[in-house]
């Protein structure tokens, strides 16, 4: 069992060292490549785990389609966001009362115009 652990630790360390050496400097995070190499060589298991966990930058993966056999995995399209009204209730009520009053005044004006037009037609006859 200790032999298996040692072989796995050595394999992970070698893989980490090769990955550090071949990786471009722009894809190494938190420390320079030389420091990562020393960490992996001096602390093989812990250094390798730290390298793969937080030392390298992984390429972004494209989002793939959900499998065809899982219809519940597909998300329905999100409903369009309705515009939020940030006015207070008092402001909304005041605006509504203004609209009602404006409509009442428009109706009154239309009624008076109709009466005036009728009166004008009566005078012409």
Residue 74 pLDDT: 61
Q: Which contacts qualify for 101-106: CB closer than 8 Å, 24 or more apart?
A: none
pTM metric for this prediction: 0.47
Q: Which of 16, 4, 66, 64 is nearest to 43 (CA)?
A: 16
- For the chain, the structural domain boundaries read 2-55, 87-125
Non-local (6+) Cβ contacts of 33 within 8 A are 20, 21, 23, 25
Taking only the tens place, the pLDDT of each residue in 8-26 is: 889 999 999 999 998 888 8
Question: In sequence order, which ranges of 1-125 are alpha helices (DSSP H)?
Answer: 2-22, 33-42, 44-50, 89-124
Taking only the tens place, the pLDDT of each residue in 57-83 is: 777 777 666 556 655 556 666 666 667
**Half-sphere exposure (CA, 13 Å, Cβ side) for 110?**
6
Backbone angles phi, psi at 28, to 5 degrees: -105, 130
Using left for φ > 0, alpha for ψ between -120 and 50, and beta otherwise, residue 97 falls in alpha
């Amino acid at each position: 069992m200790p032999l298996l652990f040692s072989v796995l630790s050595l394999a992970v360390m070698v893989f980490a060292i090769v990955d550090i050496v071949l990786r471009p400097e722009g894809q190494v995070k938190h420390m320079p490549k030389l420091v990562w190499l020393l960490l992996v060589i001096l602390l093989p298991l812990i250094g390798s785990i730290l390298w793969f966990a937080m030392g390298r930058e992984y390429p972004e993966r494209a989002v793939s389609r959900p499998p065809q056999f899982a219809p519940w995995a597909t998300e329905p399209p999100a409903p369009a966001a309705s515009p939020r009204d940030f006015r207070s209730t008092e402001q909304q009520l005041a605006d509504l009362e203004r609209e009602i009053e404006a409509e009442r005044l428009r109706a009154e004006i239309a009624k008076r115009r109709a009466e005036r037009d009728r009166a004008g037609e009566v005078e012409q006859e």
